[in-house]
């Protein structure tokens, strides 16, 4: 017993017991005192809202099953953000990867002004301007940026004359005890991808400056977490991840991809959160000693069954849309089937649009761009508002004559734009949509060797023969350019635009189809291709 008291006395003398401390192994107190604190950063992320202020039908798919539910709308996006803010005690960073101010009738009629108050109510921390943000011209883009409560960021968008950046290259903010930097980058292909007149007076740089900017925010700004937010599309984002080291997560926009599982590239994650406000991406990062030690990603479906609408934002949306309801409400036709656009190669909605364009031009071939925007049209009346969702710009139609050889070259290039193995060579949207013409191809074949068969009116294309074609005029294109086909003979701009073509077509009460018609078939692709992220 005396020996026990002696041992305890020695321990007290050495500071091993007393002052509320427990008996521990030597060195364990020091280890616990220096254990780094773990902080959690939550990032909420939307992209490609395309001015869809109100809830709308949305097509969801998983494991071969499809369903349509009401989803999206700024009021529902706001409610989801607020729920997660409350869960995290306000420690949330909310970001938008662009293509926000364009895509609906109200947006077009006000050059994006109708979006400002509802958008400001979302409480965004920053956004990247998308390729469609220039649709109203550079001066309007600058004005809208001044009206927003959150900053636009873009490292590579400059005034052509002065060379000065339009917006800061990055955003740095402390959230939940974590210092985070968001570097912004928008699509450098805008002057070629959009009608050139939209971006006149602007200069788009490539990604060469990004590695230095990432180092700058790490070393000079002291960022513990670096996010690269881009509007270049998922394939190019994956390619950039390998070229820009030091990025923890790459937040991608543009291609409307629904990333269920993050794509890992060079130690970074690449994710994209769908489109139209139908989804919210949630990224949780855990940081210790200035480094990310754990990550979690969730793609949240913003359906009416899961999330209510925030009443105050709903009121702002109603007020923004009220002045335009009368102009956008009239019915212009009817559909007896559901028309949706979500497919890379062929879809029922674009078949209708291409048919309308061909009928308006009275030509053998009609071509529509491979647009991604436009939510599903359910059976019932087709209204003026739907025309803007399907085709949110007003372009006159243009006709001309092209040779079979030109048609082959056009399709080979467009197939390369969509399916190039090198992500840097991908360009624009999905495959153009033909009417009066069919093609069969192999997406995985080398450039220039993808076409297997090309027919017009059911007959194989003759390289030497001339064919008549109608497509949309693009502001700033060369006079002899039609739908990116150069050297067109006898080009002529019509007084009819794409909306009027649809009105006339639907007025004839055509029988519309919700099934694919084999207009464009990739023999090495699934019947319905939802993504461009194909295994290489």
In the chain (536 residues long), the average pLDDT of successive 10-residue segments reads 39 35 38 71 98 97 92 98 95 97 97 98 98 96 98 98 97 96 97 88 97 98 98 95 95 97 95 98 96 97 97 98 97 97 95 97 96 93 96 92 98 96 89 97 97 98 98 88 94 96 97 96 95 79
Q: What's phi and psi for 506, nearest 5 deg?
A: -70, -30
Tell me what pLDDT residue 483 has: 86
Full-model pTM:
0.91
Tell me what pLDDT residue 197 has: 86
- 347: nearest Cα among 82, 530, 171: 530
By DSSP bridging, strand 65-71 and strand 56-62 are: antiparallel
Tell me what pLDDT residue 536 has: 59
Tell me what pLDDT residue 328 has: 97
Torsion of CA 30, 32, 34, 39, to 10 degrees: 180
Can you list the alpha helix ranges (DSSP code H) found in 46-115?
74-87, 105-109
Cβ pair 200, 139 in contact under 8 A:
no
Tell me what pLDDT residue 20 has: 35
Whether the CA torsion 219, 225, 228, 234 is positive or negative: it is positive
Order of strands, sheet of 433-435, starting from the edge strand that comes earlier in the sequence: 433-435, 365-368, 466-472, 396-403, 489-497
Cβ pair 313, 75 in contact under 8 A:
yes
Tell me what pLDDT residue 9 has: 40
Tell me what pLDDT residue 35 has: 65
- Tell me if residue 398 falls in helix, strand or coil: strand
């Amino acid at each position: 017993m005396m020996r026990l008291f002696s041992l305890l006395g020695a321990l007290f003398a050495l500071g091993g017991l007393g002052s509320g401390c427990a008996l521990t192994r030597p060195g364990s107190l020091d280890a616990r005192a220096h254990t780094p604190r773990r902080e959690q950063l939550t990032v909420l992320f939307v992209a490609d809202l395309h001015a869809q202020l109100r809830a709308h039908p949305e097509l969801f798919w998983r494991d071969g099953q499809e369903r349509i539910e009401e989803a999206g709308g700024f009021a529902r996006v706001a409610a989801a953000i607020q729920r997660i803010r409350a869960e995290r005690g306000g420690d949330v960073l909310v970001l938008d990867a662009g293509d926000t101010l364009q895509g609906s009738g109200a947006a077009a009629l006000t050059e994006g002004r109708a979006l400002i108050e509802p958008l400001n109510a979302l409480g965004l921390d920053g956004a990247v301007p998308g390729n469609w943000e220039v649709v109203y011209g550079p001066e309007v883009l600058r004005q809208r940026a001044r009206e927003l409560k959150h900053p636009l960021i873009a490292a590579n968008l400059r005034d052509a004359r002065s060379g000065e950046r339009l917006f800061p290259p990055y955003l740095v903010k402390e959230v939940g005890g974590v210092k985070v930097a968001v570097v912004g980058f928008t699509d450098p292909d805008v002057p070629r991808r959009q009608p050139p007149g939209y971006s006149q007076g602007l200069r788009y740089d490539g990604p060469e400056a990004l590695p230095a900017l990432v180092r700058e925010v790490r070393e000079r700004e002291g960022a513990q977490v670096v996010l690269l937010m881009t509007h270049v599309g998922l394939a190019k984002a994956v390619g950039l991840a390998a070229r820009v080291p030091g990025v923890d997560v790459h937040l991608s926009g543009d291609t409307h991809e629904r990333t269920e599982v993050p794509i890992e590239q060079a130690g970074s994650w690449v994710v994209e959160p769908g489109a139209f406000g139908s989804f919210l991406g949630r990224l949780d990062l855990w940081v210790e000693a200035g480094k990310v030690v754990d990550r979690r990603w969730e793609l949240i479906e913003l359906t009416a069954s899961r999330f209510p609408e925030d009443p105050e934002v709903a009121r702002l949306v109603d007020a923004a849309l009220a002045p335009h309801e009368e102009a956008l409400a009239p019915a212009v036709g009817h559909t007896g089937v559901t028309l949706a656009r979500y497919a890379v190669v062929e879809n029922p909605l674009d078949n209708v649009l291409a048919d309308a364009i061909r009928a308006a031009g009275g030509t053998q071939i009609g071509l529509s761009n491979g647009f991604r925007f436009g939510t599903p049209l359910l059976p019932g009346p087709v209204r003026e508002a739907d025309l803007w969702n399907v085709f949110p710009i007003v372009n006159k139609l243009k006709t001309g004559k092209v040779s079979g050889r030109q048609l082959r070259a056009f399709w080979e290039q467009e197939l390369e734009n969509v399916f190039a193995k090198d992500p840097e060579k991908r360009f624009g949207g999905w495959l153009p949509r033909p009417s009066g013409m069919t093609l069969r191809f192999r997406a995985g074949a080398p450039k220039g060797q993808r076409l297997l068969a090309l027919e017009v009116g059911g007959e194989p294309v003759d390289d030497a023969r001339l064919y008549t074609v109608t497509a949309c005029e693009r502001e700033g294109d060369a006079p002899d350019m039609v739908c990116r086909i150069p050297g067109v003979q006898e080009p002529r701009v019509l007084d009819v635009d794409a909306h009027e073509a649809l009105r006339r077509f639907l007025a004839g009460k055509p029988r519309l189809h919700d099934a694919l018609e084999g207009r464009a078939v990739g023999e090495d692709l699934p019947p319905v291709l939802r993504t461009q992220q194909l295994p290489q």
